[in-house]
Amino acid sequence: MNQHPTVVISGGSSGLGKAIGLEAAKQGATVVFLARRREKLRQAQAEASTLSGRPAYAFPVDVADPVAIEATVDQIHETVGPVDILVNAAGFG
């Protein structure tokens, strides 16, 4: 795995997903947050960038929508590159 792995986290705008993302950022990972709430996503993105000194990314998406997920995966590959780690922390309800 590369020195700065790319970590994609669904449910990354709050709770466990955000906590995992921020810890990954502290460890030097490039973090990609996925969630529905844009403002909370941007906050998580800013915090991760500050912690790591590296860019972090935020993609608003509803993980219950397969078409939206496919489009987001394409955007991630185009913007960030290959994904090394995927964390599914999105809650449904």
| Sequence ranges of the domains in the chain | 6-88
Could you tell me the CATH superfamily of domain 6-88? Answer: NAD(P)-binding Rossmann-like Domain (3.40.50.720)
Q: 27-71, pLDDT tens digit by residue?
A: 999 999 999 999 999 999 999 999 999 999 999 999 999 999 999
pLDDT band at 78 (very low <50, low <70, confident <90, very high): very high
pLDDT of 91: 83
pLDDT of 1: 58
pLDDT of 5: 96
Q: What is the 3-state secondary structure (H, E, C) of the chain?
A: CCCCCEEEEECCCCHHHHHHHHHHHHCCCEEEEEECCHHHHHHHHHHHHHHHCCCCEEEECCCCCHHHHHHHHHHHHHHCCCCCEEEECCCCC
